[in-house]
Chain A
Amino acid sequence: GEDVEQSLFLSVREGDSSVINCTYTDSSSTYLYWYKQEPGAGLQLLTYIFSNMDMKQDQRLTVLLNKKDKHLSLRIADTQTGDSAIYFCAENSNTGKLIFGQGTTLQVKP
């Protein structure tokens, strides 16, 4: 079945780069997404990548997609304390539904 896996926790120092990884199983996914959830808040779409792309860059965010290995990553350059949040990877299934990973809690230490 469809499954999305993420590690649960990542801790970095302010100013370092953060890399959050995700693996998925549905090779027919058209889009893959990264959502951010700040404490006590809803989900905010950070970025998404179309499945025929390898990379997408948006300011401090870089998304890399390895379709062969079904591996998605989100790199945050110059990580700030305001980046502390839970980051969810998601794929869209062939029925149009989103399948989410468990979420990676990013802790940024000053």
Chain B
Amino acid sequence: DADVTQTPRNRITKTGKRIMLECSQTKGHDRMYWYRQDPGLGLRLIYYSFDVKDINKGEISDGYSVSRQAQAKFSLSLESAIPNQTALYFCATQQGGEETQYFGPGTRLLVL
């Protein structure tokens, strides 16, 4: 079983809709991250959390919100989706003090 899972894997939605992307991990890591990937721009950090009560904005947090419901779960919400939020979204985990982030398989989101 994968250590970092994301649901859904693919999603098509319409402008103005609220959607939630979920991330779960079985690695027991305390840190979790949400990134978006756009062609030619690499990965950009949206939000990150170092613990259940800790939420921090990343580079491009506008239009997004997150919830860290438990150490193993980190959800990303788009309150009112817009077409330029069409992208590939990745969740990642890391144990504090260790050097490596582990990525989920990604969620491909299309906003029409």
**Residues of chain A whose beta carbon lies under 8 Å from any beta carbon of chain B:** 4, 6, 8, 30-31, 33, 35, 41-45, 48, 50, 88, 92, 96-98, 100-103
Contact = CB atoms under 8 A, between A and B. Distances in A.
B100 A48 contact: yes
Interface string B13-40: 0000000000000000001010100001
B74 interface: no
B103 A42 contact: yes
A100 B33 CA distance: 13
Contact of A100 (B31, B43, B96): B43
Contact of A8 (B40, B100, B104): B40
A42 B40 contact: no
Given A41-B105, A98-B45, 13 more contacts: A8-B40, A30-B99, A42-B90, A42-B103, A43-B43, A88-B42, A96-B31, A96-B50, A97-B33, A97-B48, A97-B58, A98-B43, A100-B42
B102 A45 contact: yes
Nearest to A95: B56
Contacts of B58: 97
Given A88-B43, A97-B45, A102-B42, A43 B103 contact: yes
Nearest to A43: B103
B12 interface: no
Contacts of B41: 102
Interface in B59-83: none
A101 B44 CA distance: 9
B110 to A, nearest CB: 15
Name the residue in B44, B90, B101, B106 with the highest tally of chain A Cβ atoms < 10 Å from its Cβ.
B101
A102 B103 contact: no
Given A43-B90, A96-B31, A97-B58, A103 B42 contact: yes
